[in-house]
Structure 1
Amino acid sequence: MLLSVLSFFLGIVSLQQWAVLPSVWSLASVFFLALVLLYFKQKRVAFFLLGFVWAGAFSGYFLSHSLMPDLQGEELLIKGDIVGLPEYNDRRVRFDFKVTHAAVSLPDKLRLSWYYPPKIVSAGQTWQFFVKLKAPNGTLNPGGFDYEKWLFARHIGATGYIRKAGQAKLLTTQAIWQNISVVRQSLLDLLAQQKISADSLALVKALTLGDRSSLSTSQWQVLAQSGTAHLMAISGLHIGLVAGMIYWLAFQCWLRIPYNSYSAPQVAAVCSFLAALSYAALAGFSIPTQRALVMVSVFMLTILLRRHVKSLDIFAIALLVVLLIDPMAVLSVGFYLSFLAVFCIIYVLSGRLGRENRFLSSLKLHFVVGLGLLPVLLFFFQQASLVSPVANFLAIPIVSFLVVPLALFAVALLPVMPDSAAFLLQIVDSVLQFLWQVLVFLVDLPLASIVWPQPELWQIVVAMLGVFLLLAPRGIPARYMGFIFILPLILVHKDKPAVGMASVTLLDVGQGLAVVVETTEHTLVFDTGARFSDSFDMGRNVVLPFLRYQQINRIDTLVISHADNDHIGGAQSLLAGMPAKEVLSSVPEQLAAYKAQTCYSGMSWQWDRVKFRLLSPPKLALKGENDNSCVLKIETAQGSFLLTGDIEKTAEAFLIEQSDSLSAEVLIAPHHGSKTSSSAGFLAAVKPSIILIPAGAPNRFGFPHAQVIDRYNKIGVEYFITGDAGALTANFYQGKVEVESYREKYRRYWNR
């Protein structure tokens, strides 16, 4: 059974590699072929094809209900229900919205933002308001987060924001018994009133209600670096624990009741299932809870029916049910971590002879899960924790046997016995603060975690085979050869430019600028994109992941062209994650903590036979912040690049007058293609053959401006826009410029 389900799973995964969905007729043909193969008892191939067809049909249906292009940016009056728990920050509330009525055809589910709402927005409310919508749109970069994929996996067909807030109407609010989200919202509101530390409160919300929106960036960093982030996902560990405790409690109580119509195991199984169902509902039925609930359900059903089912069959049923309910679950990282962790535990516990010491067995399980997840963690996050076994050995029993039971009991008591609940939460707060101090101590140790470049898919497959060989029972021949299979993970290597050459990547940071320049042995970062909140900026979310993806562990020089948020916003997060040897800027006072120096014309240096020259600003500053942007020219053996920041016509005129040679084959468009830049004289002096334009698509400024595009067209230059093409990498090959569009090369069918 397991092999058939895995074949079905692989069929679903194979579809996710397609840039365009197969047509309906193609899927029908594949389905017919699968039926023929089933008739001839070729089950493995047939299930693979059925998985492919199921994912294709599911995805095709969803995409057929996408936002129509002519509705983008239009004000639309809609009515519907808030789904799940809204997420608040200082300026806005963000929530998923199920459309129940609209004058035009719209996707079933939207993700909306409401800036400074006049009323409290909460789960279970029905609203009518005006919105402006757009199709799913996000940045796309190597090693970065694919926001469009995330929206697709959550079945969200469009994003937007509320307009004419004064005309918004709250129509109804569902009763607490009508919607589990209302129950979650009510409990969340009660939790928010408790007098415990903010960090502990965020952890309690995550562990009881599955709401991780309050976890701070620093908390996520500690959890990731200690290898304990999985504890914040309500999964098999927590649900299995609750189910087991309720089973034991019900079993013991029923034995003492003189009523024999049903056996104690059967009654305990029903109670255990109901407890698991309730906990999963509180967590919003996330993928890990779905998998755990299915496993608990199957296991309890075998007790009710007094049947024995193999552990791997229960695992296979859980996997199949999740894939049938939502084949797009395979796009979630949590899907792989959740199922792989359980499979590793089943693998090392099944069919083993002899009994081990419980303490040693617990240590072994932590090691097994850590080793089994290592290749996958490196693939998805390019990071792995070396203190994870110790951290988990301490954290799992504390969280599982103390924090979760007490926190759940406290949450259950909040509506009826608030004083008792508050007392229990104080105990939980103290325990969590102690645990957190231990985790912080561990992650502060030298080499607590390692950052490694993303392995290729074949390296992951080979490494996982090596892991399973190492974890095989004693007596299996050559099982220590598994170390050899793991070696490809260690030998991951990214190609670097040859001596005298440079690779320039203009990252897709929306409406902003971030450029990474690589030579044979050095790295320069030019600007870092914008900062949007304490938890999200382009330095942390785009630039840093790209550097790790490229196997870069140090920044030699960081240049911040000027002080606009869309250029300097991500600097602090970037430098916190990867310090720079040298920082240059036209506003060094804003980066004084990093000993920044002023950039000015005449500064130059050489790396690996590649010359770097700052052409502007002059020591006697020009008028206007934009015109004082640092301007950098990079000269390689085969051609030049010109990075211009946000300079406008004044700085362009200065460069024409003062620079001996402005010519460069590749030009980063000044000021994102604003009509105040890219003057005809400047373009004539630079004589670019390629122009890379850092501009979001769409953006509220209308960049690149139509006049500027006309100027580019008049001189016959080829141009690329990051908002359309994703990250752009420019290299010289045999004297010609080659530009690689990340969106074009790695596009998937859900990407625009």
Structure 2
Amino acid sequence: MKAPTLTLLSGSVALLAGVVVVQLLPQLPPLWLEIAGLLFSLLLLWHLPRLRLLAIFLCGAAWACLRADIALSQRLPLALEGEDIQVSGTIIGLPQAQEGSTRFELYVDTALHEKASVPFAGHVRLNWYASKDGSAPDITPCSRWQLVLRLKRPRGLINPGGFDFERHALTQGIVATGYVHDDASNQMLDSGSGFCVDRLRQKILQGIDSVLGDTPESHVLRAMAFGDQAAMDEHEWAVVRATGIPHLIAISGLHIALFSGFGVLLARLLWRLFPRLTLRWPAPMLEAPLSLFFALAYAMLAGFGLPTRRSLVMIAAILVASFVWRARSSFHGLALAVLVLLICDPLCVLSAGFWLSFVGVAWLILCLGGRGTRRHGWREMLNAQGIASIGLLPLTIWFFGQSSLVGPLANVLAVPMVCFILLPFAVLGGLMFLIAPALGAPLLQVAGWVMHGLWWALEKMAAWPAAQHYFPEPNLLALVLALLGALWLLLPRGLPARGLGLALFLPLLWPLHTPLADGEVDITVLDVGQGLSVLVQTRDHAMVYDTGARFPSAFDLGEVAVVPAMRALAITHLDRLVISHGDNDHAGGTAAVVAAYIPDISEGSEPQRTHVPLQHCVAGEIWAWNDVQFSVVHPRADSPDLDNDSSCVVLVRSANAELILSGDISSKAEAQVAIEIGATAAHTVLIVPHHGSKSSSSLAFLQALHPQLAIASAGYRSRFGHPHPSVVARYAEQNIAFLNTASSGFIQVHFSAESGVEVMEQGRLARHPYWRE
């Protein structure tokens, strides 16, 4: 590489390193220090050019701190959580009508609390629930509303392998979430009758639905071409993940680059038709503006999501490099794109898409950019797919905990079809449908036929045995070693021992936790909001007790919390599934868990309410795993159906410690349960009955069991008020340590012969980057 390219490359790496270091901080420095650091780094860069890399590093760190501080300061003030706030704002994006509610996003510009103006504005994510008569509100894009909201700061569930919503909210600029409170003052202020891109997008999507109907082809095509993923169901997402094509669903660099290329082709067509144009304007002067115009126009149609904006900045930077500086190498344009993107938005490094995009392009440039000969197109495509699959495997496992074994084959089939048929026909057909439906409908129909064939092939691939593999949660060292292994494997041919790079991938297969010995138990109380799910592991066996809730219009906690946690904890087989009773917050995620792990035994106290085949859970069942005894102590076989008091109560007992899984029993059943348990072990952990309801955890029950530790599984700002303050006070009066998943996130407890009971981790406290509440 030439010196200017090396200078730009080293500068972009230094800036990136400074920005990344900030993301490892548990809290941000004071604002005055951030500003001073930024000014100092700029002065250092100006007066001591020999220290420019250090200055750029410091500048990146200070800028990232300042930008993150500004974003966090815009979040809803804590004092306003749960309060009625009257706001005025504009609908952004496309509202999603769901069963019983409408989900939408609002940009708030003014806010009143108790008729006084409050310093709150920004992007909020809301639900507006249907009224008692079942009617859902009609919300249109770009309309302006006055609404009464109940909000809370962005707060997600914290679990092994789980999605970090708080990080996502920071990158997306979401400052609060909540719902529209039923109030007479709620009204539309303006229908937004002017030009509105989102309203245009909505009409195009309605046109696709009218031509293709409510089919997988329609759902996937809407997401793939126009960035609307709302219609995709759980099965369609499962196929997408299993075949390794999420990058084709998220509007990313491939989509923007394709339409940018259309601008170049149009410019070259103009040269051929009007050759004298090149005498007045050099080719790049015509190519670059048209390329950027097409990229920008498509980005608008795709909704200007974060991946779309990032890709647009990348394309624009590369075009500028080509047009202004005549980029000396591919790395020159890539380095400039990194610099521009980090200057515009340093928080983009929190997004998986940032790393997958830039690292993927870097691998291709490194492995393919310096060739003196060209291969046939299909061979070059296969080679590029192989390079991307190996080079991006460590990052894919780090961010998603899985890899698609059929992904390379699926991408070789899907990428050409998406680039050359589906995207052009869908976008052109959608635009034509707005002007002349008779002309647009055939184009959309062609895209639908092609999508139907592609989707059939993808579904077949997703059903192949071992189509995708799940990995335990890796640590940072395993990621670094795997990246070095990928570099070793992708070194030029002829270098010795390249295959040894595979050995550096092995740490990705090792769980973070050491294997258990006989008699030891690991208990993980998952953070599932207002609900319950507990994982119990011995050396060779695993049990799941309850699976959290399922909300058809939102998400299934079995799918988004329980199953990912099991995979992150390296649980490959489920020996037993116990569902305490049929309430949704305990049994809602059962189907998702059963689909992912087929348990050897499934049982519950109310099989008729779970919609999954279960054996009846009856007191007297006993089994043992690895010197750990399990027993069902409630309900009896002759007990009547008592709703919550029929909960299946399970006792897990090791040599000197025990766990009581109590479901939702109330004080009415607690006396009988205490009698059945009898003498307790030296160390007892109690899962607090009924999430800490004031009808449970009676004084007699606590005195009979005298647990060492009590763990409540409850939602943050639970509308049921769980755990009730009087119950928390009762545990404190009995000197019982009390933990709550609402404030602790997931909670891991270990039983061992040496220490008895040891709290190993509280997820929200142990894993606490600066953006986490």
| Whole-angstrom CA distance in 2 between matches of 1:170 and 1:320 | 42
Out of 21, 25, 34, the residue aligned to residue 32 of structure 2 is 25
Q: What residue is the counterpart of 1:551 in the other structure? A: 570
1:230 pairs with 2:247: yes
Out of 526, 534, 537, the residue aligned to residue 556 of structure 2 is 537
Larger mean CA deviation between 62-71 and 258-267 belongs to: 258-267
Q: What residue is the counterpart of 2:3 in the other structure? A: none
| Whole-angstrom CA distance in 2 between matches of 1:303 and 1:5 | 18
| Whole-angstrom CA distance in 2 between matches of 1:623 and 1:223 | 43
Q: What residue is the counterpart of 2:229 in the other structure? A: 212
Q: What residue is the counterpart of 1:561 in the other structure? A: 580
| Whole-angstrom CA distance in 2 between matches of 1:282 and 1:309 | 33
| Whole-angstrom CA distance in 1 between matches of 2:97 and 2:549 | 21
Q: What residue is the counterpart of 1:743 in the other structure? A: 764
1:3 pairs with 2:19: no
Local SS of the residue matching 1:531:
coil
Local SS of the residue matching 1:415:
helix
Out of 338, 345, 354, the residue aligned to residue 335 of structure 1 is 354
Contact 2:511–2:569 (CA under 8 A) maintained in structure 1? no
Contact 1:639–1:735 (CA under 8 A) maintained in structure 2? no
Local SS of the residue matching 1:110:
strand
Out of 672, 675, 687, the residue aligned to residue 706 of structure 2 is 687
Q: Deviations over 1:16-45 (max 9, x none)?
A: 222221112332454355346532522333
Q: Deviations over 1:494-548 (max 9, x none)?
A: 4232210101111111110100001111101000011111661111111101100
| Whole-angstrom CA distance in 1 between matches of 2:479 and 2:609 | 43
Map 1:269-418 to 2 at 5 A.
269-301=288-320, 304-305=323-324, 307-418=326-437
Q: What residue is the counterpart of 2:123 in the other structure? A: 109
Local SS of the residue matching 1:528:
coil
Q: What residue is the counterpart of 1:142 in the other structure? A: 160
Contact 1:109–1:158 (CA under 8 A) maintained in structure 2? yes
Measured after TM superposition, the shift of residue 93 of structure 1 is 1.6
1:180 pairs with 2:197: yes
Larger mean CA deviation between 165-174 and 504-513 belongs to: 165-174
Q: Kindly provide the amino acid, as one letter, of the partner of residue 55 in structure 2.
A: A
Contact 2:318–2:334 (CA under 8 A) maintained in structure 1? no
Q: Kindly provide the amino acid, as one letter, of the partner of residue 58 in structure 1.
A: R
Q: Kindly provide the amino acid, as one letter, of the partner of residue 257 in structure 2.
A: G
Q: What residue is the counterpart of 1:262 in the other structure? A: 281
Q: Aligned pairs, how many?
A: 750
Contact 2:172–2:306 (CA under 8 A) maintained in structure 1? no
Map 1:518-529 to 2 at 5 A.
518-529=537-548
Larger mean CA deviation between 490-499 and 519-528 belongs to: 490-499
Q: What residue is the counterpart of 1:57 in the other structure? A: 66
Contact 1:662–1:686 (CA under 8 A) maintained in structure 2? yes
Local SS of the residue matching 2:170:
helix
Taking a change above 3 Å as real, the CA distance of residues 69 and 355 of structure 1, as seen in their structure-2 partners, is closer
Out of 676, 679, 697, the residue aligned to residue 661 of structure 1 is 679
**Structure 2 unaligned spans of 5+:** 1-7, 112-116
Q: Kindly provide the amino acid, as one letter, of the partner of residue 21 in structure 1.
A: L
Measured after TM superposition, the shift of residue 492 of structure 1 is 4.9
Q: What residue is the counterpart of 2:216 in the other structure? A: 199
Local SS of the residue matching 2:601:
strand
Contact 1:291–1:319 (CA under 8 A) maintained in structure 2? no
1:573 pairs with 2:589: no
Contact 2:582–2:610 (CA under 8 A) maintained in structure 1? no
Taking a change above 3 Å as real, the CA distance of residues 725 and 26 of structure 1, as seen in their structure-2 partners, is same
Local SS of the residue matching 2:251:
coil
| Whole-angstrom CA distance in 1 between matches of 2:641 and 2:308 | 59
Q: Deviations over 1:283-326 (max 9, x none)?
A: 23334333432343344445545824321121112222222222
Q: What residue is the counterpart of 1:621 in the other structure? A: 639
Taking a change above 3 Å as real, the CA distance of residues 95 and 502 of structure 1, as seen in their structure-2 partners, is same
Given the two structures, how large is their TM-score scaled by the length of structure 2? 0.93
Q: What residue is the counterpart of 1:34 in the other structure? A: 41
Measured after TM superposition, the shift of residue 221 of structure 1 is 0.7
| Whole-angstrom CA distance in 1 between matches of 2:21 and 2:433 | 47
Taking a change above 3 Å as real, the CA distance of residues 573 and 709 of structure 1, as seen in their structure-2 partners, is same
Taking a change above 3 Å as real, the CA distance of residues 304 and 746 of structure 1, as seen in their structure-2 partners, is closer
Local SS of the residue matching 2:11:
helix
Contact 1:531–1:570 (CA under 8 A) maintained in structure 2? yes
| Whole-angstrom CA distance in 2 between matches of 1:458 and 1:142 | 18
Q: What residue is the counterpart of 1:582 in the other structure? A: 601
Contact 2:629–2:652 (CA under 8 A) maintained in structure 1? yes
Local SS of the residue matching 2:367:
helix
Map 1:428-507 to 2 at 5 A.
428-476=447-495, 478-492=497-511, 494-507=513-526
Q: Kindly provide the amino acid, as one letter, of the partner of residue 744 in structure 1.
A: L
Contact 1:510–1:723 (CA under 8 A) maintained in structure 2? yes
Taking a change above 3 Å as real, the CA distance of residues 737 and 492 of structure 1, as seen in their structure-2 partners, is closer
Contact 1:352–1:473 (CA under 8 A) maintained in structure 2? no
Q: Deviations over 1:210-247 (max 9, x none)?
A: 11122111111111111112111222222222222332
Out of 726, 737, 740, the residue aligned to residue 718 of structure 1 is 737
Local SS of the residue matching 2:600:
strand
Q: Kindly provide the amino acid, as one letter, of the partner of residue 738 in structure 1.
A: E
Larger mean CA deviation between 282-291 and 378-387 belongs to: 282-291
Q: Deviations over 1:130-187 (max 9, x none)?
A: 111112222111111122222122111111211235432211133453x433332333
Given the two structures, how large is their TM-score scaled by the length of structure 1? 0.95
Map 1:242-253 to 2 at 5 A.
242-253=259-270
Local SS of the residue matching 2:155:
coil
**Structure 1 unaligned spans of 5+:** none
Q: What residue is the counterpart of 1:96 in the other structure? A: 105
Q: What residue is the counterpart of 1:13 in the other structure? A: 20
Local SS of the residue matching 1:440:
helix
Local SS of the residue matching 2:85:
strand
Q: Kindly provide the amino acid, as one letter, of the partner of residue 145 in structure 1.
A: F
Contact 1:131–1:160 (CA under 8 A) maintained in structure 2? yes
Larger mean CA deviation between 724-733 and 418-427 belongs to: 724-733
Q: What residue is the counterpart of 2:532 in the other structure? A: 513
Local SS of the residue matching 1:41:
helix
| Whole-angstrom CA distance in 1 between matches of 2:494 and 2:14 | 29
Q: Kindly provide the amino acid, as one letter, of the partner of residue 128 in structure 2.
A: W
Out of 77, 81, 101, the residue aligned to residue 86 of structure 2 is 77
Percent of aligned positions with the same letter in both sequences?
A: 36
Taking a change above 3 Å as real, the CA distance of residues 643 and 490 of structure 1, as seen in their structure-2 partners, is closer
Contact 1:382–1:452 (CA under 8 A) maintained in structure 2? yes
| Whole-angstrom CA distance in 1 between matches of 2:594 and 2:312 | 42
Contact 2:109–2:121 (CA under 8 A) maintained in structure 1? no
Larger mean CA deviation between 622-631 and 25-34 belongs to: 25-34
| Whole-angstrom CA distance in 1 between matches of 2:479 and 2:336 | 25
Q: What residue is the counterpart of 1:676 in the other structure? A: 695
Contact 1:175–1:182 (CA under 8 A) maintained in structure 2? no
| Whole-angstrom CA distance in 2 between matches of 1:305 and 1:717 | 69
| Whole-angstrom CA distance in 2 between matches of 1:198 and 1:391 | 21
